[in-house]
Every structure is written in structure tokens, then in C-alpha cells.
Structure 1
């Protein structure tokens, strides 16, 4: 394997040893979960003490020890939600689960009901998802309930009043959000493959249990300068923000990218 291939394969190598996130990277903010739990308990007469959460990193809902009278109230991985619903229906375990709003209707095929509210939830990883809820309770195939949406909005607004650390990425990192911002502002920007390498996040971010949602590109100094120049036309740096710093390993990768950039072929005459 060449040196370049080693750099390009590093993230894939590290990824194999990362614990998989069983909730499809959408961890529910505690305030939102409690608001949903309170609503469901009132609506269906559920004893809050009987609710269980079998979905967590490394957990196995199929072998979870469900006590008598348990009610599953949790945010499961959306990618296998149909299988999960069928599992609980077959065992007559009552449930009220978070579900993707755009595809939840199909879960009615399995005898479940879907509760809709105006609930666009911002999860811990920054993802904003139109969220519905699938349940074994009631006789409705579909229920639209404004009060649940209001409860979720209030919970999210309460969370926003808490002062949080604002982070700023270094110039040499181009995130998915950064790409979308450039596109939204009508910016013409081109990034040659030789000037970039895909990463999940920075080493400093991993040390705090964070990563760049959607992934990012570590880019050469030349590409970073071009990006910074166009970003200045529509953004103002937050002087109070914490700037993620590149590690020695990442600076070495940038150095390699700079080297490849300096060897770019001359333009055709």
C-alpha cells in the first residue's frame, strides 16, 4: 500500500473499531424524551415506572429482560423499525416509539398506529428529523395531536436557553454543513480530489465524543484559503467560539495534501 493509500484508508481502519450507535446516530435530548414520555403516559394511562428503554449503544432489544407489565418507550434505530414493531407485536409487548415522519405510515401494515405532531426534533448530533411516533396503543391507524407537538417545541426551546459552547471548525476542514452553506449562498467553489481526504471528524472532536455530522473533508492549505475567502463574503467569525485545532497527525495529512497540490499538472496551452 502506498503512503497516499495509507492516509486515505486511515479513517476506514479506525471506523472498524468504533462502537456502532444503535439509534442511527439520533440520540434524543433528555428534555424532549421526558416531554414525549409525559404525553404518552397521560394519553394512554401508562405508569411511568413501567417504561423501559432497551435501545442503547451495544444493547440488544431482542434479548432485553422485559419485566411483566413493561412498556417500551424509546427511540430505536429507524433503519430496522419495521422489524422492531413486528417483534413487539408478536410478543404483545406494548410500545410507544419514535419514528421517521416521512415513512412511518407504512408501519400501519403491522397493526400499529402512528401519532403525528408538528415535531421537527433536533437530536444531539445536530440532525433535524420530522419525527412521528408508532404505538401499539389505541384503535387509530393515524392520530394527529397538536398538544404533543407543542410539548416537544417547549422542551426544545427550554434546551436552547441553556448556554452551550459554540464550536468553530478550522479552515482546513470542510464539513457537510459548510458545503451546504456555500451552495445556499450561490458560491462557485471547486475542490480537486488531490486536495482533500475524507474524515469523520477531527482528533480533538473524538476526544470529546463528537464527530462532524455527515462527515467532512480535510483539505490542503491552498483549498482552505479559497474556502475562507468566499466564506468571508457571507459570514462573520464568532470570536467567542471554541476553535477545533488540528492534531499533529492531521497537520501531517495537510502537509501531504499540500505536497500533492504543488505537483499539480500545468494547464494545457
Structure 2
């Protein structure tokens, strides 16, 4: 760090004392008319050593990946209890081999162990293959979006869809399903009761906003927003409507139309209702991409029908 020393005319002795004081301060030396502050060598060396040490240690720290979605305890308990009740699993036999730094292949599965756990999703097929080859029964968390992608093991496991999202401990929201070696004669099944239990386990106390269903003669800004978003045009003339803040039925319960709305004439209401319906159809049309079957696939469907009747 440099300190410039300005020397005005006739101020020689004042500057002399400034230089004397600075010159005696630790870590200060002069270069001509400049005072230079030097960093203490031992402190600088220590900082460099710490930085090198931290970089060295960091190499051995486990790196977080998208597989690091640790299951909330309350969700795991719900899943475990459901699996035990459904398949008659003894809770004392349940093991969880998937933990940071763990090795599921060398884990001890003796004594009739049953795996109920959330594995790394990226290795799910490999893990299922291992358990199937070793004869270890399992009930594993799985990503719903790619649930049926394990072609090599598809016919050996049951795929369970509870229809819910799990918020894992790292904050990730994942549509979660399950794969199991139990009841493998079933290819896929829904489990709405399990889904409801998982949702209930994750619920936090909160005020849910009420949803109102208004007569066709009421039009709100939210309704018009849906129309506009789906490319639907609508014009309501001043003579066809009146601004209204609440309905008489809402007075007694102290409720109102959020943001106010329009009270429409019968003709305007019919026009708005037709546009609302058109908006819903347009919304569905936007989302849906229709695919058709090939001749080969139609023949396969017929073959599956014959098999099912045998």
C-alpha cells in the first residue's frame, strides 16, 4: 500500500515528523517520497498454505449430484408402513443400504433382509438387476417420468404410481413412483391411498384460498385472461354490463368478487359462455399431440387381447 507525502512550501519540519512516525511503524518503508506498507511475510505464507490445504481437502469431499435427494423421514415412514401392510413385510427385516458413501453391492442382506429405500435414480435399473439376480426383495423409490424405461427388467418388477410429488430434503420436487419385486405378475398399478398418505405427510399448516363458482352472468378479469391467453377474442359493451364488487349472496358471509367483475346481460353472458368454452378447447388443443398406432402395433394389441383371454 502506498502513502503519498505532499510537501508544501515552509512545511518541512511537519513532514519530517510524519516521516519519523511512519518510519517507525511496523511493515512501513519509504521509497523516495512514498511510504510503502508491506504485508507480513508469515501471514501471507499462512494464507497461501490455507488455500492450498482447502483445495487439497476439497478433492476428497463427496460431490452432490441430482441423485442427492434425501427422503424426508415422515415420507419414508408412510411408504414403509404402506409396503409392510400391502406385502406382509416384517418391519424388523427392512434395511436401507443407500446412504452417503455406502456400497449397496457389499451390504449384508442376510437373514431375509428386504430393501425399502430411495436409491440414486440414475442407477435404478442397475440396482434392480443386482437385487433380482441376488434374490433380494425390494421396494424402491423411482422417478415417475421415466418409470417404464427399464426395458431389460420390465417384466420382472411391478411399477406403482401413487400420483403424488415428493419434496426431498434438498428442496427438489419430484413426481415419485415405486418399483418392487413384490407381485411382479402385475406390470403396473396405481396406489391412490399411498399417494394421499404421502401428500398428507408433507402438508404444512396453511390457509387455502377458497374457490368460487359464479353464474354465467358474472365475468372476471381472471376469466378474460384465460380467453386472451388461448387466443380467444371477446368484447363486452358498456350497455351490456355493470360493474359489481360482490353478489348479494356474499354479503352475509362478508365475501366479495376478488378484483370486482362485470354483471352481464343475458345476451352478453351467452356470448361470454361460448368464448369460455372455446378457450377451454383451445387450452386442451395446445397441450395435446395426438399419436396414432402403426400396423405392427395394432397387431400387437390384438395378440395381447388373445393372451389375456387364455
TM-score bin, normalised by smaller chain: 0.5 to 0.7
How do 1:37-186 and structure 2 match up within 5 A? 37-107=80-150, 109-110=152-153, 111-138=156-183, 139-157=185-203, 160-161=204-205
CA distance in 2, matches of 1:140, 1:108: 15
Q: Deviations over 1:84-113 (max 9, x none)?
A: 000000011000000011111123641111
Q: TM-score, normalised by structure 1?
A: 0.52
| Structure 1 residues 126 and 74: alpha-carbon distance in aligned structure 2, compared to 1, 3 A threshold | same
Offset of 1:161 from its aligned partner? 4.4
CA distance in 1, matches of 2:70, 2:174: 11
Give unmatched runs, 5+ long, in structure 1.
1-10, 163-269
Q: Deviations over 1:87-146 (max 9, x none)?
A: 000011000000011111123641111100112000000000000101000021101110
CA distance in 2, matches of 1:156, 1:55: 22
In structure 2, the residue matched to 1:18 is 61
Q: Secondary structure at the match of 1:93?
A: coil
In structure 1, the residue matched to 2:269 is none
Offset of 1:18 from its aligned partner? 1.8
Give unmatched runs, 5+ long, in structure 2.
1-53, 207-310
CA distance in 1, matches of 2:166, 2:81: 17
Whether 1:29 aligns to 2:75 is no
CA distance in 2, matches of 1:37, 1:45: 11
